[in-house]
């Protein structure tokens, strides 16, 4: 009989119920293996899904070959970790809607033991972001701070590259599976990080990224870290979503101030006005992280 974590691995690959449905199953079934004995109608009652989705889940539940996929992942150096495991990241465990399973490729030790700073900003980041991160990241690397970002174009890419060039360590959180890196221009960076840093995703490798998945993955970026640094952002941008997640998760949001005439400073200046910590020097980040 498979243990709970292996059954969770199996459930995670089944379509139809999503994160909330999985959560209801875990809360409802004391003996998780009993899920294989339930009818589609009972599954629908537990997961509160539609009849169509519960039928889809039921079919996947009884047809998915989890042993085959575990072997396949192992052959491609893809690791996985569940919320039931002792080494699941403690900070992430306590966020709202934590991922029940994460796929990992690279150095999983980066998840533990060191202070982590999320760096986020505009996909259209200017030379202002580039200069700020070029100056600050080498100093953060000297303090052994792990830099976390989302591998998107713009500020994310600058953050990962500056960390790598400074000899530091960085984690990339994807909005889809490992087989579908987005944007494509970052495939080389992603493959480097798979070998020398760490990439992770809550989605199986074969899942293509959908638009809604990117803002949803932002809870992981902030959830893994001790604080979040915002370089540049427009108001009501995707960066704001991550900042909101961070505030809701009890993380400190740090912002680089900018000109009142610069559209990409509207978001950061607004966050500062609303209570985010203004960063005027690297010492402001050091003091927040306690390094």
Q: What is the pLDDT of residues 52-67, one digit of tens each?
A: 999 999 999 999 999 9
- DSSP 8-state assignment for residue 60: H
Residue 283: domain span: 105-289
In terms of C-beta density within 10 A (0-12 exposed, 13-18 middle, 19 or more buried), how is residue 167 classed? exposed
Q: What is the pLDDT of residues 7-16, one digit of tens each?
A: 999 999 999 9
Banded pLDDT at 274 (limits 50, 70, 90): confident
Number of domain units in the chain: 2
Look up the CATH number of the domain holding residue 41. 1.10.150
Dihedral sign, Cα of residue 79, residue 89, residue 135, residue 235: positive
Q: Is residue 87 part of a domain?
A: no
Q: What pLDDT, on the 0 to 100 scale, is given for residue 136?
A: 98
Q: Name the average pLDDT for the chain.
A: 95
Q: Does residue 232 contact residue 263 with C-beta atoms inside 8 Å?
A: no
Q: What is the pLDDT of residues 130-166, one digit of tens each?
A: 999 999 999 999 999 999 999 999 999 999 999 999 9
| Residues 149, 60 share a domain | no
d(CA 124, CA 131): 14
Structure tokens at 161: 């590259």
Q: What is the pLDDT of residues 199-221, one digit of tens each?
A: 999 999 999 998 888 888 999 99
| Residues 68, 110 share a domain | no
Q: What pLDDT, on the 0 to 100 scale, is given for residue 244?
A: 76
| Residues 236, 119 share a domain | yes
Q: Is residue 153 part of a domain?
A: yes
Task: Please say if the pLDDT value at position 285 is more than 60.
Answer: yes
Where is the domain boundary, 75, 94, 116? 75
Q: What pLDDT, on the 0 to 100 scale, is given for residue 78?
A: 98
Where is the domain boundary, 36, 59, 75? 75
Look up the CATH number of the domain holding residue 178. 3.40.50.450
Q: What pLDDT, on the 0 to 100 scale, is given for residue 245?
A: 77
| Residues 191, 232 share a domain | yes
- Counting residues of the chain whose pLDDT is more than 70, the rounded percentage is 100
| Residues 222, 116 share a domain | yes
Q: Is residue 100 part of a domain?
A: no
Q: What pLDDT, on the 0 to 100 scale, is given for residue 96?
A: 86
| Residues 142, 280 share a domain | yes
Q: Is residue 186 part of a domain?
A: yes
Q: Is residue 28 part of a domain?
A: yes
Task: Please say if the pLDDT value at position 277 is more than 80.
Answer: yes
| Residues 113, 65 share a domain | no
| Residues 118, 55 share a domain | no
**Angle of helix 213-223 versus helix 238-248 axis, rounded to 10:** 40
Q: What is the pLDDT of residues 26-80, one digit of tens each?
A: 999 999 999 999 999 999 999 999 999 999 999 999 999 999 999 999 999 999 9
Q: What pLDDT, on the 0 to 100 scale, is given for residue 216?
A: 85
Banded pLDDT at 248 (limits 50, 70, 90): confident
Q: What pLDDT, on the 0 to 100 scale, is given for residue 37?
A: 96
Spatial CB neighbours of 28, under 8 Å, sequence gap ≥ 6: 46
Q: What pLDDT, on the 0 to 100 scale, is given for residue 153?
A: 95
Q: How far is CA 264 from CA 43, 234, 236, in A?
A: 47, 5, 11
Q: Is residue 93 part of a domain?
A: no
| Residues 130, 256 share a domain | yes
How much is the pTM?
0.94
Q: What pLDDT, on the 0 to 100 scale, is given for residue 90?
A: 93
Q: What pLDDT, on the 0 to 100 scale, is given for residue 129?
A: 97
- DSSP 8-state assignment for residue 69: H
Q: What pLDDT, on the 0 to 100 scale, is given for residue 246?
A: 86
3-class DSSP assignment, residue 228: strand
Q: What is the pLDDT of residues 81-102, one digit of tens each?
A: 999 999 999 999 988 899 999 9
Q: Is residue 81 part of a domain?
A: no
The closest alpha carbon to 113, from 90, 130, 79, 92, belongs to: 90
| Residues 166, 114 share a domain | yes
Q: Is residue 171 part of a domain?
A: yes
The closest alpha carbon to 236, from 277, 262, 264, 255, belongs to: 264
| Residues 55, 8 share a domain | yes
Banded pLDDT at 238 (limits 50, 70, 90): confident
Q: What pLDDT, on the 0 to 100 scale, is given for residue 19?
A: 93
| Residues 272, 145 share a domain | yes
């Amino acid at each position: 009989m498979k243990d709970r974590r292996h059954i969770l691995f199996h459930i995670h690959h089944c379509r139809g119920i999503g994160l909330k449905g999985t959560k209801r199953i875990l809360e409802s079934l004391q003996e998780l293996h009993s899920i294989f004995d339930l009818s589609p109608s009972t599954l629908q009652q537990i997961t509160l899904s539609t009849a169509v989705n519960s039928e889809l889940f039921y079919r996947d539940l009884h047809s998915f070959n989890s042993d085959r996929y575990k072997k396949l992942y192992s052959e491609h150096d893809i690791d996985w970790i569940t919320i039931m495991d002792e080494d699941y990241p403690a900070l992430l465990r306590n966020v709202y809607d934590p991922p029940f399973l994460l796929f990992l490729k690279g150095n999983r030790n980066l998840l533990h033991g060191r202070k982590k700073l999320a760096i986020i900003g505009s996909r259209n980041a200017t030379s202002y972001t580039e200069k700020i991160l070029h100056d600050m990241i080498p100093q953060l690397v000297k303090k052994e701070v792990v830099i976390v970002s989302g591998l998107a174009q713009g500020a994310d890419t600058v953050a990962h590259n500056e960390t790598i060039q400074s000899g530091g360590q960085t984690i990339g959180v994807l909005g889809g599976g490992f087989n579908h890196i987005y944007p494509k221009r970052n495939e080389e960076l992603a493959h480097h990080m798979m070998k020398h840093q760490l990439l992770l995703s809550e989605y199986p490798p074969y899942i293509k990224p959908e638009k809604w998945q990117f803002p949803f993955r932002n809870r992981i970026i902030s959830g893994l870290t001790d604080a979040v640094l915002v370089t540049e952002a427009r108001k009501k941008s995707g960066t704001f979503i991550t900042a909101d997640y961070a505030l809701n998760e009890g993380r400190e949001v740090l912002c680089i101030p900018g000109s009142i005439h610069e559209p990409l400073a509207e978001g950061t200046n607004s966050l500062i006005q609303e209570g985010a910590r203004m960063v005027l020097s690297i010492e402001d980040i050091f003091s927040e992280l306690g390094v």
